[in-house]
Homo-oligomer: A and B are copies of this chain.
C-alpha cells in the first residue's frame, strides 16, 4: 500500500484541481472535503485561502511543462518552438480544458494585493525568458521582441480556445510562429 501523502500535499492537489475546474472562488469547504483534511490544517500550512491559492500557482510547474515539451522535440530551436504550439493544440482541444489557470486567476482576483498576482507575473516572466533564450540560440534578430510575439500568440491561443470552441486557434497561431522564427539576423 502506498503511503498516503500528507495533508499539505493533499490540500495542494485538491486546490489545484478545484480552483481550475471551478475557478478560484471555490469554497474552502469544497477543498477541505476533497482533500479529506481538517479545517485547521489549511490555516496551519498556508495561513489563509489566499496563501493556498498563491502556493498552487507557485508550485504548479507549468514552466517545467514547457521545458519538457521543447526538450522532447530535439535540438533544433525551430522544432522546439513549434512543438509548443503542437502541444497547445492538444491541450486546448481536451474536453477538460478551461483556459489558462494563470490568466484566469489574474482576471478573477481583482484585489491588487492578492499574493497570487506576483506568482502570475513570475510565471509569465519566466516563460518570456525561456522563449527569449530559445530565439537567441536560433539566431533571431530580436530575441526579446520575438518572445513578446510568441507570448502574445500563446496567450491568444489559450484565451481564444475558451471563447470559440472548435476553432483550433493553435493551428492558426503555429503558422504565425513560423513567421516569428523566420526573422533571422
**Residue ranges of A at the interface with B (Cβ–Cβ < 8 Å):** 21-23, 25, 98-100, 102-104, 106-108, 110, 120-121, 124-125, 128, 145, 148-149, 151-160, 162-164, 167-169, 172-173, 175-176, 179-180
Report the separation of the CA atoms of residues A98 and B98 in the bound assembly, to the nearest whole angstrom.
20
* B110→A107 contact, CB < 8 A: no
Min CB distance, A100 to chain B, in Å? 8
Copies of this chain assembled into the complex: 2
* A148→B124 contact, CB < 8 A: no
Our pick among B103, B124, B152, B157 for the contact of A107 (Cβ within 8 Å) is B103
Min CB distance, A10 to chain B, in Å? 22
Min CB distance, A46 to chain B, in Å? 22
Known: A98-B110, A110-B23. A163 touches B169 (CB 8 A): no
Question: Which B-chain residue is minimally distant from A149 (CB atoms)?
Answer: B172
* B21→A159 contact, CB < 8 A: no
Q: Residues of B contacting A103 with CB < 8 Å? A: 103, 107, 159, 162-163
Q: Residues of B contacting A173 with CB < 8 Å? A: 149, 152
The 19 listed contacts between A and B (C-beta, < 8 Å) are A23-B108, A23-B110, A25-B108, A98-B110, A100-B159, A102-B163, A107-B107, A125-B164, A145-B172, A148-B169, A149-B175, A151-B156, A151-B164, A152-B153, A152-B157, A152-B169, A153-B176, A158-B159, A176-B176
